[in-house]
Structure 1
Amino acid sequence: GNTGIGLALICSVKGYPLEIVMPETMSIERRKIMTAHGAKITLTPGDKGMNGAEDYVKEIVEKNPDKYYYPNQFANENNPLAHYRYTAEEIINDTDGEIDVFVAGLGTSGTLMGVSKRLKEYNPNIKIIAVEPEPKQGIQGLKNLDTSYVPPILDQSRIDEKVYVNLKDAEHASRMLTLAEGLFTGISSGAAMHVAIETAKKMGSGTLVVLLPDGGEKYISHPIYSPDKCLECTKICKIKNLWTDEYIKSI
């Protein structure tokens, strides 16, 4: 995901050899971006998800401890620390501190842990909502804690509410963001946005911040943005779009 792409970029500049391990179900665009930066890609069985990728990495590192450095984003305290120092401060500054609810997806949990810690220090009344996929609903970038390894950096006491989202709703929200708002997002962003919209409906007033971590460029080959599905979204959401309006008339 984003960490792999970031590591590939840094390693290409520094001249470090990089091996990225990911499930074979991850989008082809992720692989192409990383290999473009010189990374070696190793794929693990898709049915084992990120758990299988983690297990494989631990196995090869244990066999060759002098060869590999394993950043382990799921256990690395620098992951939440970056969001504590920078992401959370940006949120506070950009909202003038007027925050009632923060919504973010749960993947490595680095974003949620870092941001929630800082926001709770700033105002303990800010509500933290974690977004998880429904069990056995694969959403790239997110974890369901009932079916996946629990990240060591996760402290569930910092989460006020968990909300589960299905793949269909996540994909629909992604298309809505792209077609109505011009935000070309990925599926994990759609999942967070779906929960944010449903939460905002219940709030009535106040300020809700939702973090969208995933861009749509990594899903070009995915059916999420197929013409038929985008057309369906414009109808459901009543989005005015010249091209789709003309297309509807033609059929």
Structure 2
Amino acid sequence: VDPTDAMAALLYVDARAYEQRDRYLYTDQYRNPNNDCTHYATTAREILEDLGPVDYFFAPVGTAGSSIGISRRLREANEKLKVSGIVSTKDSAIPGIRHMDEMFYVGPFEEQKYDQLVGITASEALDGMLALIRDYGVMAGPSSGATYLAALRYLRAIDAEQTERKSAVIIVCDRVELYLSWIEQMRPALFEGYETPEAEHVNVANSAALGA
């Protein structure tokens, strides 16, 4: 199976799990109801306990489990909640996020559950990721960067119209160290001049051996 073709991989696993169903338990995060239900019962509860009712909610859409599950419970606390699902533009590939043409193949995704779906490019996701790391010390990955950037644009646009305090939540759901190869491919200049500690150790040892 082509490792870059997520749908092909999913169909392959589907077929094998069905053919050998007496041997495997297939948890299948894409269609397992416990995906969104767990976020409804736990992640959303934690948000409400910390913040109370939320006005704006932003989340990346991968399996759609977190965004659907959390928003369902947040809407119970505030029926005026505005939900933004973050997807990639069709010409971009952001790890952990799907684009609109792929959304209808994943389980809990329902377009009507979102007030808007926001398309973000891979370069923009990387910009948002770097802002989270540099400005806030949040070691997040590209899907979180995309969500942060989309939230910032949306909230800046409506900020002048606000007459009372509002609360907004974004989901940070990944870690940067898992995506270093993708980051280097996207923006190699970030890695220019960088040497690993092992390489530095070898250079020092070689210098000593040469009498430097």
TM-score band by shorter chain is 0.7 to 0.9
- Alignment check: 8 A CA contact 2:124 2:149 kept: yes
Q: How many residues align?
A: 186
Equivalent position to 1:88, from 33, 44, 62:
44
Partner of 2:75: 120
Q: TM-score, normalised on structure 1?
A: 0.69
Q: Are residues 1:207 and 2:167 paired? A: yes
User: Residue 114 and residue 186 in structure 1: after superposition, are their counterparts in 2 closer, same or farther (change >3 A)?
Assistant: same
State the one-letter code of the partner of 1:114: G
State the one-letter code of the partner of 1:216: V
Deviation at 1:203, TM superposition (A): 2.2
Q: Using the alignment, how far apart are the partners of 1:227 and 1:134 within structure 2?
A: 22
- Alignment check: 8 A CA contact 1:135 1:147 kept: no
Q: Using the alignment, how far apart are the partners of 2:93 and 2:182 within structure 1?
A: 14
Deviation at 1:149, TM superposition (A): 4.5
- Alignment check: 8 A CA contact 1:83 1:115 kept: yes
- Tell me, what secondary structure is at the counterpart of 1:141? coil
- Tell me, what secondary structure is at the counterpart of 1:102? strand
1:144-199 Cα shifts (integer Å, max 9, x gaps):
13145522222222111110000000011101111111111111111111101101
Gaps (5+ residues) in structure 1? 1-43, 232-251
Q: Are residues 1:134 and 2:95 paired? A: no
- Alignment check: 8 A CA contact 1:79 1:110 kept: yes
- Tell me, what secondary structure is at the counterpart of 2:139? coil
Q: Are residues 1:229 and 2:190 paired? A: yes
Q: Using the alignment, how far apart are the partners of 1:95 and 1:172 within structure 2?
A: 28
Partner of 2:24: 68
- Alignment check: 8 A CA contact 1:104 1:129 kept: yes
Partner of 2:121: 166
- Alignment check: 8 A CA contact 2:88 2:100 kept: no
- Tell me, what secondary structure is at the counterpart of 1:193? helix
Deviation at 1:126, TM superposition (A): 0.7
Deviation at 1:111, TM superposition (A): 0.5
Equivalent position to 1:105, from 36, 57, 60:
60
Superposition map of 1:15-54 within 5 A: 44-48=1-5, 50-54=6-10
User: Residue 71 and residue 162 in structure 1: after superposition, are their counterparts in 2 closer, same or farther (change >3 A)?
Assistant: same
Gaps (5+ residues) in structure 2? 193-212
Q: Are residues 1:197 and 2:152 paired? A: yes
1:9-58 Cα shifts (integer Å, max 9, x gaps):
xxxxxxxxxxxxxxxxxxxxxxxxxxxxxxxxxxx31442x211101101
- Tell me, what secondary structure is at the counterpart of 1:88? helix
Q: TM-score, normalised on structure 2?
A: 0.81
State the one-letter code of the partner of 1:177: L
Structure (1 or 2) with the larger CA radius of gyration: 2
Q: Using the alignment, how far apart are the partners of 1:212 and 1:145 within structure 2?
A: 21
Q: Using the alignment, how far apart are the partners of 1:149 and 1:169 within structure 2?
A: 24
